Structure 1
Amino acid sequence: MWTEADLYLSISKTNRHIYICLYNALTGHIVLSLSSNDLFLRRHLKDTNLNLYYLLGRILKWKCAHYGIQKVFYKDIGNFSKNMRFFFEGFYN
């Protein structure tokens, strides 16, 4: 079992997709992961006006609540433009 302080969020981006990973910094094991390539996400985005980054933030927030994760530390986020604002709005609102 992990503690909240051990969890780090890593966000990476390729030409076509965004990958979000929440992992245990002590063991390197992935706790939760999301990808913009996910079929569920792509279908959901077609039905709504939500920004992809915002939707990823909302889903990560829901998954954290589901697993009882209360604190997340950010690492390897980088600067992905103003769209990251939407991710954090989705995660914190």
Structure 2
Amino acid sequence: TVEDFQIRPHALFVHSYRAPAFCDHCGEMLWGLVRQGLKCEGCGLNYHKRCAFKIPNNCSGIRKRRLSNVSLTGLTNTRSVSAEP
């Protein structure tokens, strides 16, 4: 359908994270003390400034939260869930 091919650009703005965060494009950590990366106002995904030019125009407009469960072995299991705006 036509809706499948809509261009939905991300609304990115510079963001300072209080806890470790990772780029939702490349998966690497966002480094620094302040202004570490870009966050999409629509869907809440995080990106490096260097990755911003590579991400597709597919903003869902639905914010997602990441829930982490740390096991006793120190491994982290992460899953995404939709959050109501």
TM-score interval, normalised by the smaller of the two chains: under 0.3
Larger radius of gyration: 2
Q: Which has the higher strand share?
A: 2
Q: TM-score, normalised by structure 1?
A: 0.26
- Bigger RCO (CA 8 Å, 6+ sep): 1
Q: Which has the higher helix share?
A: 1
